[in-house]
Structure 1
Amino acid sequence: MTDNLQSLVRVEDGVLRIAVATAEHGTSLSPDGMRQGIDALRSAGPEIGAVLLVGEGANFCAGGNVRGFAAAEDRSAHLFDIANLFHDFVRALDAIAVPVVAAVHGWAAGAGMSIVLHADIAFAGPGTKMRAAYPSIGFTPDGGMSWTLPRVVGLARARELIITDAVISAEEGVRLGLLSRIVGDDEIQGEALRIARTLAHGPTAAYAGIHRLVNDSVHRSLSEQMDAEAASISAASTTPTGIEGVNAFVEKRRPDWSLGAGADQQ
């Protein structure tokens, strides 16, 4: 059975909503969701101000389709193709440079945990659980987990969490910085969508600049990063978004970010 194509990706009020998993195959990573997500992310224009990642089913994403792995005639080739499709999605998600919000419920395991680590803001329910999951089937990580997790929790803790395949509760996920905030089970998607909509109508050019600075910081010294910050804030001051933000502050009014929408990207 093929995932319902229309349900996996849609745009709502400036928010690009992508379902990374469906109830099919035990809420495993959806190849259709990845393909549609890649196309939508790569073709997104200035009308997209935020991305919302969700899972449709009992979990956010319980990992890869292990039964599909087992049934493959050439497991190595099959896993290589699946990993590269997943990685193209992650690359597209990273490149879009707008805030990424995740609505995490149930399990975020394996590929699901990898996806959560790429979100700027991740909401979770009280019963949400995360785990690397790869060692349990004799695999190594994909989706960038071996790159993102050490940057969140440090090298030693990342190795521990992946190697021991520890189950991480929602509370522990917040404490470690893997998740942003816990909300009620029936509020997760609503709260995540509300925040995504707010961000989509915010100073999107500033968000893009923040995204670039934070991502590039891992390759720079402190001095190099401050040089980049000086160049970025100076450039931001002359964009429609920067001009409107300063003017609104001085005039003691709420900024109208739509005045700079699209123009900053030209």
Structure 2
Amino acid sequence: MDGHEQPILVNNHQSWHEIILNRPEKLNAFTDDMHRALVKALDAAAGEDCRAVLLSASGRGFCAGQDLNMRVSEGGPHDLGATIEEFYNPLIRRLQRLQKPVICAVNGVAAGAGANIALSCDIVLAAKSARFIQAFARIGLIPDSGGTFFLPRLIGDARARALIMTGEAVSAQQAHDWGMIWKVYDDKDLHDEAVKLAKWFAEQPTQGLALAKEALNYSSSHSLDEQLDFERDQQRKAGFSPDYREGVTAFMEKRLPSFTGRKA
């Protein structure tokens, strides 16, 4: 089976994985088989030896969301809620709960669920040619894959409502200026910069980053008092980690730390 027949490609580097959406002829639109392959890749990345994940895509676009040709070929009304329950919701939960940084490199159009999958990652980088489109309203649907959760929190309610209801495209630069994504690069530099960041994260205190990620996710639905208690508990765990001990020792010895990412 050659590369273009595999909907998901995985490059397993020594301490980080690159997971590549690989249906370039369809703008990496999702099929059921593609979902299953992506879940398998993310499950493999959940192992302790992998300390960072880079999600990227083949071809001229990142992801056009669901492959609508698949729905048309099936004929008749289709229970979209069942598809979301089986595939999209578990995918977003996996990305959010993965105990390591997840970087997304958006190399072109990210539309519909494709845009929201990108926004569910921890750090989003984009090429200057990239565009983010909440395309759901154009076909009578609502955003899924966490779109109604992530967008208002990233860019505010007014902008989120307008983008969701109009389906207007947002350029990479506008997405950056609004705080939707982290950084924008020239198209030719995007992948190299994303790899550089993945390699950097693969040398950082993985458990501390995982605990910080959990705390950030927890904050979206809890009060300040609850958050303070959660920070206390997370810090207690971090304080017993080997990487914390190494970080303090390196600081005292005036040298660069050598983090392992291992649990206590």
Counterparts of 1:46-61 in structure 2, within 5 Å, are 46-61=48-63
Q: Secondary structure at the match of 2:21?
A: strand
Contact 2:7 2:22 in 1 (8 A): no
* Residues 134 and 83 of structure 1, relative CA distance in 2, 3 Å threshold: farther
Gaps of 5+ in 1: none
Counterparts of 1:70-81 in structure 2, within 5 Å, are 70-77=72-79, 80-81=82-83
Say yes or no: does 1:39 pair with 2:40: yes
Gaps of 5+ in 2: none
Deviation per residue, 1:40-60 (Å, 9 max, x gap): 323421111111111111101
Contact 1:98 1:208 in 2 (8 A): yes
Q: Following TM superposition, by how much is the alpha carbon of 1:117 offset from its aligned partner in structure 2, in angstroms?
A: 0.8
Q: Identity, % of aligned pairs?
A: 32
| Distance across 1 between alignment mates of 2:262 and 2:31 | 32
Q: Following TM superposition, by how much is the alpha carbon of 1:34 offset from its aligned partner in structure 2, in angstroms?
A: 2.3
Deviation per residue, 1:13-45 (Å, 9 max, x gap): 322222235213243135434212212323421
| Distance across 2 between alignment mates of 1:10 and 1:37 | 13
Say yes or no: does 1:224 pair with 2:260: no
Aligned pairs, number = 262
* Residues 88 and 21 of structure 1, relative CA distance in 2, 3 Å threshold: farther
Counterparts of 1:110-129 in structure 2, within 5 Å, are 110-129=112-131
* Residues 6 and 155 of structure 1, relative CA distance in 2, 3 Å threshold: closer
Q: Secondary structure at the match of 2:110?
A: strand
1:194 is aligned to 196
| Distance across 2 between alignment mates of 1:7 and 1:146 | 27
Query: Which of residues 230, 243, 246 in structure 1 aligns to 2:245?
Result: 243
* Residues 65 and 7 of structure 1, relative CA distance in 2, 3 Å threshold: closer
The more displaced of 84-93 and 105-114 is: 84-93
Q: Secondary structure at the match of 2:177?
A: helix
Contact 2:242 2:262 in 1 (8 A): no
| Distance across 1 between alignment mates of 2:55 and 2:251 | 33
| Distance across 2 between alignment mates of 1:254 and 1:106 | 37
1:132 is aligned to 134
Q: Following TM superposition, by how much is the alpha carbon of 1:204 offset from its aligned partner in structure 2, in angstroms?
A: 0.1
1:25 is aligned to 26
1:16 is aligned to 17
* Residues 29 and 21 of structure 1, relative CA distance in 2, 3 Å threshold: farther
| Distance across 2 between alignment mates of 1:210 and 1:53 | 20
Deviation per residue, 1:107-158 (Å, 9 max, x gap): 0111111011112111111111111011111111111111111111222321
Deviation per residue, 1:175-228 (Å, 9 max, x gap): 121211111111111111110111022100110110110000122211221222
TM-score (norm 1): 0.90
Contact 1:63 1:110 in 2 (8 A): yes
The CA RMSD measured in Å over matched residues stands at 2.2
The more displaced of 120-129 and 63-72 is: 63-72
